[in-house]
Amino acid sequence: MTSYKNNHYVPRWYQEGFMPVEENDRNLFYLDLKPDEFTTGDGRKIIDKAVKRRGVSQCFKQDDLYTRWFGHTRNTQVEQYFFGRIDSDAIASIKYFENYDHTDIDYAAYRNIMPYLVSQRLRTPRGLNWLSQQTGVTERNRLFDALAYLRNMYSAVWSECIWQIADADNSDTKFIISDNPVTIYNKEIGTHNRTWHREKSDPDPTLMGSHMVFALSMNKVLILTHPGWAKNPFQDGMLRRPNTNPVRPTVFNYTEIQINRHLSDTEVKQINFILKNKAQRYIAAYKEEWLYPENDINASDWKTFGDGILFLPDPRSLNLGGEMFIGFDDGTSYAQDQYGRPPSNAAPSRAEWNTLERIKGDFANKFGPNRRGVSFDVGSLDQEVDNPGLHALYLSYYRPRGSQAKKIKVKLKEQRRKARRQH
């Protein structure tokens, strides 16, 4: 019978999802980013081996991390009942979203995954340190009371994001596990700013340009993007999104989940680079070479991963606005805009329309008529390939910028010169 002394801050069942089901070898390559240093009897310093082969029972664990002490009496209820219940409910939810295809709606899957994502962000050694800093609570027993109270923190904000489920089917590289599994990426806060990484915490999830990245398994990743950023990534990513209140009612829209995005090998390595960079001490993978994305990815490209749009959902499956209206059997109703606020009677501004058109044009120009993700709209999935007329419409929104715009201007001037000479 377990004593609940050996606490896994990244659950064993979650780690199992990062190994092929058909393989008998159930070990991971476990990398310590800060290996221990030992001094021998003769004064020599030896650094422990950084990479070890470990089973899931030996990875991402710390003895008595969740134990509450009352004098000399050990209390394991946090591990046994609090995290035990959240984990138990989340197993099916993770599998549901890993295989989500818009064919059915499981309301329990959403209800159970939200407290898991929040608690997984807070339950790691790094998360507990962050929670202590934010609440000013240092006494361990009281800190777990705060964690229980905040178990739905960010649930509303993340529920209102555009959800995107992408896969590594076309990549030889698969996703790694981090000791900070619920990772926040903001391209404006790069690797040069170390205080935002291992030494402190991730960027604030409520910043407009902050994406939440969570690997569902070795082959699937969940990416959450604020709707305002998905429709206008040209703004300052350090601004806060509207309505940052973390604890409030909201509505989750299953139909907006984007699926069928197939990541390239480079994109998977870029995501792994971010996960590794945001880890505190440990990462793990089924293959050892996956632990070193930096062999192929340059840290100086942090802002331009995926040409700066690595985590953006395809805007051609997004709509302006985002208001939702719900009627209940008892005659009451509820309504909200895309940020969980009461809807406004004001029509979307021309500026909002222009930015959404502009990013649609950028995607059409970069990816052609092929969408890199689709959602459910008007009774069916969006087409993965736009017809010529629709693609031409999106291309008409394209507005070249920077060096490309200069090249086009030079080319147009040369064409005009040729036309004058001919006449």
Point out the domain boundary residue: 317, 336, 359: 317
Buried b / exposed e along 113-142 (16+ C-beta atoms within 10 A):
bbbbbbbbbbbbbbbbebbbeeeebeebee
pLDDT of 408 strictly over 90: no
Sign, CA torsion 310/316/318/320 = positive
**pLDDT reported for residue 72:** 83
Q: Is residue 1 part of a domain?
A: no
Same domain for 300 and 359?
no
Determine the residue type at 38: F
Q: How far apart are CA 243 and CA 265, in angstroms?
A: 36
Same domain? For 115 and 248 the reply is yes
The domain total for the chain is: 2
Cβ-contact 293, 26 below 8 angstroms: no
- Are residues 298 and 202 part of one domain? yes
Same domain? For 278 and 353 the reply is no
Last residue of a domain, one of 317, 336, 364: 317
Q: Is 120 helix (H, G, I), strand (E, B) or coil?
A: helix
pLDDT value at residue 95: 97
More confident residue, 3 or 275: 275
Amino acid 412: pLDDT: 45
What is the arithmetic mean of pLDDT over 49-62?
95
Cα–Cα distance for residue pair 13/9, rounded to 1 Å: 11
Q: What is the mean pLDDT of residues 132-141?
A: 90
Region 287-300: what's the mean pLDDT? 97
- Which of 52-66, 352-366, 377-391, 403-417 has the lowest average pLDDT? 403-417
Same domain assignment for residues 123 and 166: yes
Strand partners, 58: none
E strand or H helix that includes residue 89: helix 84-98
Q: Give a yes or no: residue 406 inside a domain.
A: yes
> Does 407 have pLDDT greater than 60?
no
237 in a structural domain: yes
In a domain, 91, yes or no: yes
pLDDT band at 25 (very low <50, low <70, confident <90, very high): confident
Counting residues of the chain whose pLDDT is more than 90, the rounded percentage is 68
Alpha-carbon distances, residue 105 vs 11, 90, 96, 265 (angstroms):
26, 16, 10, 31
Looking at residue 201, what is its pLDDT? 65
Distance CA 375, CA 371 (A): 10
Residue 334 lies in a domain: no
Are residues 303 and 365 located together in one domain of the fold? no
Residue ending a domain, among 300, 317, 334, is 317
Q: Is residue 333 part of a domain?
A: no
Query: What CA–CA distances, in Å, run from 15 to 52, 55, 148, 181, 413?
Result: 16, 9, 24, 11, 58
Domain assignment of residue 107, yes or no: yes
Mean pLDDT of 300-316: 96
Of all residues in the chain, the percent with pLDDT exceeding 70 is: 91
- pLDDT given for residue 198 in this prediction: 46
Q: What is the pLDDT of residues 204-221, one digit of tens each?
A: 999 999 999 999 999 999
327 pLDDT band, cuts 50/70/90, is confident
- Per-residue pLDDT reduced to its tens digit, 340-386: 998 887 777 888 899 999 999 999 999 999 999 999 988 899 999 99
Same domain? For 159 and 281 the reply is yes
By the 8 A CB rule, do 325 and 335 touch?
yes
Kindly state whether residues 288 and 387 are assigned to the same domain. Answer: no
- For residues 127 and 252, membership in a common domain is answered with yes
143 shares its domain with 205: yes
Q: In terms of residue numbers, what domain contains 234?
A: 6-317
Whether residue 296 has pLDDT greater than 80: yes
Q: What is the sign of the dihedral through the CA atoms of 180, 181, 185 and 190?
A: positive
Q: Kindly tell me if the per-residue pLDDT of 419 is higher than 60.
A: no
My answer on whether 144 and 57 are in the same domain is yes
Instruction: Say what the pLDDT of residue 123 is.
Output: 94
Mean pLDDT of 284-307: 96
Query: Helices in 123-226 by DSSP H: which ranges?
Result: 125-135, 140-149, 155-159
- Average pLDDT of the residues of the chain: 89
Helix (H) or strand (E) holding 417: helix 402-422
Cα–Cα nearest to 113, from 82, 155, 148: 155
Domain assignment of residue 81, yes or no: yes
Binning pLDDT at 50, 70 and 90, where does residue 403 land?
low
The pLDDT assigned to 351 comes to 86
Do 141 and 26 sit in the same domain of this protein? yes
Residue closest to 14 by CA, chosen among 115, 102, 98, 130: 98
